[in-house]
Amino acid sequence: MTQLDPIRLEVIRNALIAGAEEMNLSIWRTARSTVVRETLDYSTALFDGEGRAVAQSTRIPIHLNSMSVCLDEIVAGPIPLDQWSEGDVILTNDPYSGGQHLPDFVAFQPIFAEGRRVAISASIVHHVDVGGGAPGSYFAGATEIYQEGLRLPPVKLAENGKIKSEILQIIRTNSREPEKIAGDVHAQVACLAVGQAAILRLTERYGVDALVAAMQEIVAQSERAMRAVISELPVGVYEFEDFVDDDGQNAIGLKVVAQVEVSGDECTVDLSGSADQAPGPVNCTLNMARSGVYCALLCLGEGKVMANSGAYAPIGVICRPGSIVNCLAPAPVANRMATGHRVVTTVLGALAKAVPEKVPAAYYGVSYVAALSAPDPAVPGERRVYFEVEVGGWGGHPTADGADGYSAGFHNLANSPVEMCESLFPITFTEYSLITDSGGAGKHRGGMGLAREWRLNADWGTLSGNFERFRYPPYGLNGGAPGSPGRFVHYRGDEVTELPSKISGLALEAGDRVRLQTSGGGGWGDPAHRDTSKVADDLASGRISSQAAENAYGHQSSD
C-alpha cells in the first residue's frame, strides 16, 4: 500500500497506542524500586523515524510532553540522528541537554526496518536516587546542579544491542541505591525492545511505507485538531500571573507570567516576564516550561487532541534565558515541579480570559512531597525512608464544582494506604480527611484540600517537605474566591510550630505530630449565584461550615 486509507490509518494508530501501553506495562512488570512500582512515576512513548512524538501511554503529562523536546535537543547537539544505529540506546538525565531533573532518566532506541530508521521508542523513569546532597536526590539546600547528583549527558548506553557495563557502573557508583537503580535502568531499557516489537509487527504486516505514512498522518491529525482548538479562541493577547511561594532559601515570591497571543489557528505563549532564576532548586529548564505549556493547551482540547508532536506545532513558547522558566546552568532544578505546576496554572489562567466558559479556577498546583527518615521497626540498626505524595482540590469549573482531593494537572500519582504505612514505618496516623471550608467559594465551589496527620513512634526522625501554595493560594475565577492555602504544622507537647513550605532536615522526637494541609481549589463564579440547594448540601455534608455558608454564600440557616 502506498496510498493511505483511513481504515488502515486507524488500525495502525490503535496499534501504536497499544504498543506504548505495552511498554508501560513492561516497566511496571520489571522495575525494582517502589518509586516506580508504587507511585508509578514513569512514562513511555513511540516516535517516528525523524524524532516526532506519535503515540503516548496514559501516564504523566509532565514526562510525556517533554520527551520530544529532549530528543530534539539531543539530535541537534551531541548525537545527530545519522549517528543512531541499530541496537543503540541513547540515555541522558541532564536537564541542560533536554532532561528534567537528575532523577529522571530518558532513554531512546532507534528502530530499523528494511535498513531504514522507521521509529524510535522512548521511556522516562524517575529513579530512586542519583546521589547529591540528600537521599532521593531532592537537596533543598542546593545552589548549583553539581550538588544534586550524577549528571549524565546524552550517551550511548548500548551499542549493537549490548549495554556498556562501564556506564551502568558509573550510574551504580553514584547512587545510594545501586541495585535498585540498576534494576530500574534495565527495566527502562527492556521496554524499548517491547516498543520495537510492536513497530516491527506493523512493518511486517503493512509494510514500511504504510507505517511511515500512517505516523506522518497521525501527527498531522493532531496538528489539525490542535489548530481547531486554538481557532475557537478569540484572537487577542491574554495575560495572567501567578506566584511560586519561594525557592526554599529566601522568603521571596517568584512571579510566573504568561502572555498568550492567539492569532488564527496558532498561538504564542511568552513567559519572559517571569522572575529571574532562583538560587534554590525550583528552577525549570526550557524543556520543562514547554511541557507545562503543552499540557495546559492539551487540557483545553478536552480529550479531542491526541498528544504528540503535531499538537505542539501550532504552539510557540518564548522563555527568557536566565529566568525561572528557562534557567541557565548551573542553576539547581531538583524541585522544578514547584514552578512547573505554576506554568500550567498561569497559562490556564491566561486562557480563561479568552474562553471563560471553558477554563476552571486553579487546582492545588503542586506535588506535595514529604519524606521521613526513621529507624526501621523490623530491622534493628537499619533506617527506612517514608515517602509520600499528596494532592488537593481541583478548581471550580464553569459547569461543575471542583473535585475534592484528587490528582490534577501536571502530574498523576497514587497515595499510600494508611494501614500499609503504619505497618512499615514507625508512625501512627491521627487523621486523613477532607478539610471543611478549604474549597474556594464560588458559584461552582473549588475542590477540598486534604489533611494528613501522623505521630512519630520511634526515638528520632528527620523530616523534609517540598510544598507550595502556603503564601499564594490557588486563584478563583470570575468572582470565585481562592482555595485555602496549604499548611505544615509541627506539634511537640503544647508547642505548635507552623513550618515553611520547603523544609529539610527537621529533627523529630518520639510523640511529635506532623500535620500537612494541602490547598483547596479556587472557586468559579460569584458565590452569591450558587444554587441554594448546593449550599445546603455542602453545609449538611460538612464541606462548608455554617459560618462560611452565611459569610461567603449569604445562606440563612433555618434554625
> Considering only residues 228-247, where is the footprint of other proteins by CB under 8 A?
228
Q: Which is nearer to other proteins, 333 or 403 (CB)?
A: 403
The nearest distance, CB 476 to other proteins, in angstroms, is 15
The nearest distance, CB 333 to other proteins, in angstroms, is 24
> Quick one: residue 405, left, alpha or beta (phi over 0 = left, psi -120 to 50 = alpha)?
left
Q: Is 518 helix (H, G, I), strand (E, B) or coil?
A: coil
Strands of the sheet containing 155-159, edge to edge, are 53-56, 42-48, 116-126, 104-113, 89-92, 155-159, 162-163
Q: Which is nearer to other proteins, 137 or 412 (CB)?
A: 412
- Rule CB under 8 A: say whether 307 interacts with other proteins: yes
Which three cell numbers mark 460?
528520632
Q: Residue 505 burial by CB count (10 A; 0-12/13-18/19+): exposed, middle or buried?
A: exposed
- Rule CB under 8 A: say whether 402 interacts with other proteins: yes
Task: Outline where DSSP puts E strands in 151-288.
Answer: 155-159, 162-163, 236-244, 254-263, 266-270
Q: Which is nearer to other proteins, 298 or 338 (CB)?
A: 298
Q: Which is nearer to other proteins, 32 or 530 (CB)?
A: 32
Q: Which is nearer to other proteins, 251 or 400 (CB)?
A: 400
Q: How many CB atoms lie within 10 A of CB 481?
A: 24
Candidate residues 111, 150, 288, 434; the one interacting with other proteins per rule CB under 8 A: 434
Residues 6+ apart with CB under 8 A from 346: 240, 241, 242, 256, 257, 258, 271
Candidate residues 143, 216, 272, 415; the one interacting with other proteins per rule CB under 8 A: 415
**For residues 465 and 525, what is the distance between their CA atoms, to the nearest angstrom?**
33
The nearest distance, CB 291 to other proteins, in angstroms, is 13
Question: How many residues of this chain interact with other proteins, rule: CB under 8 A?
Answer: 85
Q: Are strands 155-159 and 116-126 parallel, antiparallel or unpaired?
A: unpaired
108-127 residues near other proteins, rule: CB under 8 A: none
Q: Which is nearer to other proteins, 40 or 441 (CB)?
A: 40
Q: Which is nearer to other proteins, 62 or 289 (CB)?
A: 62
The nearest distance, CB 350 to other proteins, in angstroms, is 14
Q: Which is nearer to other proteins, 146 or 429 (CB)?
A: 429
Candidate residues 119, 403, 458, 514; the one interacting with other proteins per rule CB under 8 A: 403
The nearest distance, CB 400 to other proteins, in angstroms, is 6
334-353 residues near other proteins, rule: CB under 8 A: 348
The nearest distance, CB 12 to other proteins, in angstroms, is 9
Q: Which stretch binds other proteins (CB under 8 A): 35-43, 113-121, 206-214, 473-481?
A: 35-43
Q: How many CB atoms lie within 10 A of CB 216?
A: 16
53-92 residues near other proteins, rule: CB under 8 A: 58-61
Q: Are strands 513-517 and 450-456 parallel, antiparallel or unpaired?
A: antiparallel
Place of cell 532536615: 505
The nearest distance, CB 342 to other proteins, in angstroms, is 17
- Evaluate whether 483 touches 439 at the Cβ level (below 8 Å): yes
- Evaluate whether 514 touches 497 at the Cβ level (below 8 Å): no
- Rule CB under 8 A: say whether 510 interacts with other proteins: no
Q: Which is nearer to other proteins, 5 or 276 (CB)?
A: 5
- Rule CB under 8 A: say whether 420 interacts with other proteins: yes
Q: What end-to-end distance do the CA atoms of the chain give, in Å? A: 76
366-385 residues near other proteins, rule: CB under 8 A: 378
Q: Which stretch binds other proteins (CB under 8 A): 158-166, 243-251, 394-402, 484-492?
A: 394-402
**For residues 248 and 332, what is the distance between their CA atoms, to the nearest angstrom?**
12
Q: Which is nearer to other proteins, 203 or 323 (CB)?
A: 203
The nearest distance, CB 61 to other proteins, in angstroms, is 6
Rounded to the nearest angstrom, the gap between the alpha carbon of residue 425 and the centroid of all alpha carbons in its chain is 27
283-302 residues near other proteins, rule: CB under 8 A: 295, 298-302
- Evaluate whether 482 touches 449 at the Cβ level (below 8 Å): no
Rg (CA), the chain: 24
**For residues 120 and 118, what is the distance between their CA atoms, to the nearest angstrom?**
7
Q: Which is nearer to other proteins, 156 or 543 (CB)?
A: 543
- Rule CB under 8 A: say whether 10 interacts with other proteins: yes
Q: Which is nearer to other proteins, 111 or 385 (CB)?
A: 385
308-326 b/e with 16+ CB inside 10 Å = b?
bbbbbbbbebbbeeebbbb
Angle 465-470-475 from CA coordinates, rounded to 5°: 130
Q: Which stretch binds other proteins (CB under 8 A): 2-10, 168-176, 206-214, 478-486?
A: 2-10
Q: Which is nearer to other proteins, 168 or 333 (CB)?
A: 168
DSSP 468-484: --SSSPPPPBTTPPPPP
- Evaluate whether 513 touches 430 at the Cβ level (below 8 Å): yes
Q: Which stretch binds other proteins (CB under 8 A): 324-332, 406-414, 479-487, 506-514?
A: 406-414
Candidate residues 208, 318, 418, 489; the one interacting with other proteins per rule CB under 8 A: 418
Q: Which is nearer to other proteins, 328 or 414 (CB)?
A: 414
166-225 residues near other proteins, rule: CB under 8 A: 183, 186, 190, 221, 224-225
Candidate residues 111, 142, 369, 391; the one interacting with other proteins per rule CB under 8 A: 391
Q: How many CB atoms lie within 10 A of CB 382?
A: 9
Binding mask 244-283 for other proteins (x = CB under 8 A): ----------------------------------------
